[in-house]
Structures are given as structure tokens and as C-alpha cells.
């Protein structure tokens, strides 16, 4: 189910498009959700890009290991999908398009240190168990302040809103 599409208003119709497919995990432990907190105070779902030759499940399990230090996460059914189109950084393209698939996950065992990429380490991403409503409130505060990474903040907040409505 496509939950939302986000397209930067400055993008002209058409243009050279580079595509990325990403997977993101929705892992609950009781009323709390495993998310990544940034130094700005916002939350994002564990996940990232699918590498060539990886299945969605294998990619998401890799991302949980790298970003959260969690192993043995069971990837279940697809919940929702989001679509983003923003200006491309690479001069070879005009538009960077990313489709993110969110999956219901279970299990998981903390096994070690995070293996963060440069921008993830700079943002001091830290795995935390938090309720949907607390994460939603934090993301809204950061959006109002303008200090966070707005592109993913809008996407992740939309999914948190969907989860909040679903759990009521």
C-alpha cells in the first residue's frame, strides 16, 4: 500500500532519474518501537538501500545489524510504501527517486556495536525503544525547529502517524 509520495516542488516534470530501493523495519517490543534517535532529537526507522543481489529480507537484516547492532531479526509482511523524488546530487541526473518499503519485523537480539556510515555517525544515530506517540511528538518538534534532516523526517513522520492511527 502506497502511504505517501513526496516530490520536491522545485523539480521540473521529466528529467533524468536515478532510482534507489530501500527497506525499513517496524519492530515492536510491547508498546515500544525500535527506532534510531539522532542528535537532533528526531527518530528514524532502521533500514536503508538494497544492494544488488540482495533480497529485501537480507538487506533489512543487514541494516538492523549495522545500524542497531541487532541480529536474528525476522522480516515479516510489507506494511506500507513511501515514494520520494528530490533533486539529484549527482550531476548526471536531475531527480533522485527512492521507494521505501516498510516491513513488520519481530525477534532480534542485540549482538554488538553499530557499524554506522559517515553521515549516520555524524548524526549520532542511536537505537532506542520508544512509543510511537513519543517518537511522533519528537519528530514534530524537530520539524518545527528546522534543524533535522527534513527529507527523511517528513517520510518517517508520515509512517509514525499511520502507525499511531493503526494502534488506536
* Domains along the sequence of the chain with CATH: 2-166 (3.90.79.10)
The three-state secondary structure class of 153 is helix
pLDDT per residue, tens digit, the chain (168 aa), is 999 999 888 888 888 999 999 999 999 999 999 999 999 999 999 999 999 999 999 999 999 999 999 999 999 999 999 999 999 888 899 999 999 999 999 999 999 899 988 888 888 999 999 999 999 999 999 999 987 667 789 999 999 999 999 876
Rounded CA separation 24/32 (Å): 16
Residue appearing with cell numbers 523495519: 25
Q: What is the pLDDT of residues 54-91, one digit of tens each?
A: 999 999 999 999 999 999 999 999 999 999 999 988 88
Looking at the chain, how many residues does it have?
Answer: 168
Supply the pLDDT for residue 39: 93
Helix extents (H) in the chain: 56-68, 118-122, 132-145, 150-166
Q: Which of 92, 47, 41 is nearest to 67 (CA)?
A: 47
- Put simply, whether the predicted model's pTM sits higher than 0.85 gets the answer yes
Amino acid at each position: 500500500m502506497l502511504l505517501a509520495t513526496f516530490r520536491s516542488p522545485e523539480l521540473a516534470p521529466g528529467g533524468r532519474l536515478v532510482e534507489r530501493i530501500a527497506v525499513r523495519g517496524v519492530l515492536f517490543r510491547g508498546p515500544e518501537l525500535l527506532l534510531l534517535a539522532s542528535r537532533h532529537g528526531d527518530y528514524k526507522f532502521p533500514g536503508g538501500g538494497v544492494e544488488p543481489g540482495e533480497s529485501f529480507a537480507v538487506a533489512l537484516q543487514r541494516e538492523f545489524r549495522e545500524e542497531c547492532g541487532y541480529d536474528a531479526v525476522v522480516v515479516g509482511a510489507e506494511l506500507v510504501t513511501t515514494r520520494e523524488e528530490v533533486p539529484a546530487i549527482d550531476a548526471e541526473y536531475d531527480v533522485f527517486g527512492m521507494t521505501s518499503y516498510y516491513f513488520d519485523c519481530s525477534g532480534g537480539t542485540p549482538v554488538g556495536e553499530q557499524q554506522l556510515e559517515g553521515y549516520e555517525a555524524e548524526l549520532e544515530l542511536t537505537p532506542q525503544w520508544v512509543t510511537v506517540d513519543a517518537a511522533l511528538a519528537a519528530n514534530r518538534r524537530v520539524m518545527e525547529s528546522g534543524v533535522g534532516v527534513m527529507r527523511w523526517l517528513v517520510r518517517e513522520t508520515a509512517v509514525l502517524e499511520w502507525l499511531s492511527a493503526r494502534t488506536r
